[in-house]
Amino acid sequence: MRRTETALEEERTTPYVVDAATAISPSPGPRDVADLEVAARVTVIRPASRVPRLDVGELWHYRELLWTLVWRDVSVRYKQTFLGVAWAILVPAFTALVYVIVFGKFANFPAGSTPYPSLVVAGVLPMQYFASALTLSSMSLLSNLPLVTKVYFPRTLLPLAGVSVPLVDFVIGFPVLLALIWKYDTWPSGWETATAPLFILLAVVTVLGLGLLLAAINVRYRDVRYMIPVFLQVLPLLSGVMFAVDQIPEKWQWILALNPMTAVIAGWRWAMLDANPPDPAQLAVGVGVALVLFVSGLAVFRSSEPRFADTI
C-alpha cells in the first residue's frame, strides 16, 4: 500500500521522466540488423592472461573509435590559434632555417652531394613527426584520463591515435621539401621514390613501440614527462638530421645505426633527394631495433593494461 503511494507521488513530482519515456523509446519495435548482431555478442570477462597478445580482431571492431579519436585530436590541434594549420608548415620551416644557419653556415656540417637546405628539411620533417608522435602517444593515457577510468575500449587505441595525428602535420609540411626540390631542381629520378612511404612506416613502427612503452610507464611514473623533452633535444644529433650519415667516420655510423630514425632519415633522403643509398647492413640494424622496440613496447603495454585503471 505504502509503496504504491510513493510511486504515485514520484510520478507526480517528476513529470519530466514520463516525457522522457515517450520521447526516447516510442516502442520496443523491430530493431535493425546491426542491433541484433550486437545483441547476440557475448563478452566474456576473465583475469588478464599472462602472455600479452595483440587482439587484432578487437582493434578492428573498435576502428571507428580510433578514427574518431584521431579526428578529435586533429580538429582540436590548431583551434584558437591565429595562424591555424599554417603552424604545421612554419614549425619545420623555422627549425630547418635555424639548422641551416647554425650547422650549415657556421659549423659546416657535411652534406655530401645534396644541397644542405634540402638535406636538413628532409631530416626535420620525419624528426618533427617523431617528436610530436612520441609526446602525444606517451601522454595519451594520462591526457585521456576520464576515458581510461570510465569506459572500456582497447587502450592500445590511445597511443595508436597519438602516432596517427601528427601524420597530418607531416603531410601538410611536405610541400616545404617539394619547394626545395623544385628550387634546386633535384627531382628524384629512380624507382627508389616508391620506397619513401616505407621509411615513414619505419618511423611509425619505431615511435609506436616507444610510445606504447612510455605510455605504460607514464601511468605509474610521471618521470616520463620530464625525460621526453631531454631525449628529444638530443635525438636530432643522433639521427643525422643536420648532416649526412655517410659523411661521418664509419665507427660513428654504426653507433648511429642503432637508432632507427637514422635509417628513416637516410632512407627518406635517398628516396626523395637522390642522396646516397643507406648502407644495407646499417639499415637492417635500424629495422631490427625498430621491430624489437615495437614488440617489447607492445608487450609491456599489454601486460600492464589490466592495471591501468587501478594505478592511474
Partner 1 sequence: MPVAIEVDSLSKKYRLGEYQAAYGTLRETLVHAARRVTRKERHSPAREIWALNDISFSVPEGQVLGIIGRNGAGKSTLLKILTRIATPTAGRAAIRGRVGSLLEVGTGFSGELTGRENVYLNGAILGMKRREIEQRFDDIVEFSGVEKFIDTPVKRYSSGMYVRLAFAVAAHFEPEIMLVDEVLSVGDAEFQRRCLGRMEELGNTGRTVLFVSHALPAVAQLCDRAIWINGGRVVGDGSPADVIANYLHQTHSSGTERVWPEESAPGNDLAKILAIRVPSHENMPPGVMDVRRPIAIEVVFRVLREGKPVFPKLKVLDREGATAFNAIDTDERWLRPTPPGDYVSTAWIPGNLLNEGSAIVEAAICSLDFPKLQHHAAVYEAVSFEVLDPGEGDTARGQFGGQWRGVVRPLLEWTVERA
Tell me the window of 16-24, 132-140, 204-212, 284-292 that interacts with partner 1 (CB under 8 A): 16-24
Q: How far apart are the first and last CA of the chain?
A: 49
Q: Is the CB of 148 or the CB of 176 nearer to partner 1?
A: 148
- Residue showing cell 645505426: 257
Distance from C-alpha of 257 to C-alpha of 92, rounded to nearest angstrom: 24
Distance from C-alpha of 156 to C-alpha of 137, rounded to nearest angstrom: 10
Residue 153 as a binder of partner 1 (CB under 8 A): the answer is: yes
Question: 62: which residues sit within 8 A by CB, 6+ positions away?
Answer: 153, 154, 157
Cβ atoms of residues 142 and 217 within 8 Å: no
Helical (H) or strand (E) element with 25: none
> Residue 6: how many CB atoms within 10 A of its CB?
9
Residue from the set 12, 30, 33, 42 that interacts with partner 1 by CB under 8 A: 42
Residue 30 as a binder of partner 1 (CB under 8 A): the answer is: no
Residue 76 as a binder of partner 1 (CB under 8 A): the answer is: yes
Residue 144 as a binder of partner 1 (CB under 8 A): the answer is: yes
Distance from C-alpha of 23 to C-alpha of 20, rounded to nearest angstrom: 5
> Residue 186: how many CB atoms within 10 A of its CB?
17
> Least distance from C-beta 309 to partner 1, angstroms?
5
Residue 55 as a binder of partner 1 (CB under 8 A): the answer is: no
> Least distance from C-beta 52 to partner 1, angstroms?
13
Residue 50 as a binder of partner 1 (CB under 8 A): the answer is: no
Cβ atoms of residues 48 and 306 within 8 Å: yes
Residue from the set 24, 33, 230, 234 that interacts with partner 1 by CB under 8 A: 24
Q: Under rule CB under 8 A, how many of the chain's residues touch partner 1?
A: 53
Q: Is the CB of 65 or the CB of 93 nearer to partner 1?
A: 65
Residues that bind partner 1 (CB under 8 A): 2-3, 5-7, 10, 14, 16-17, 20-21, 23-25, 28, 34, 38-48, 64-65, 68, 72, 75-76, 79-80, 144, 146-147, 149-153, 220-223, 306-307, 309-312
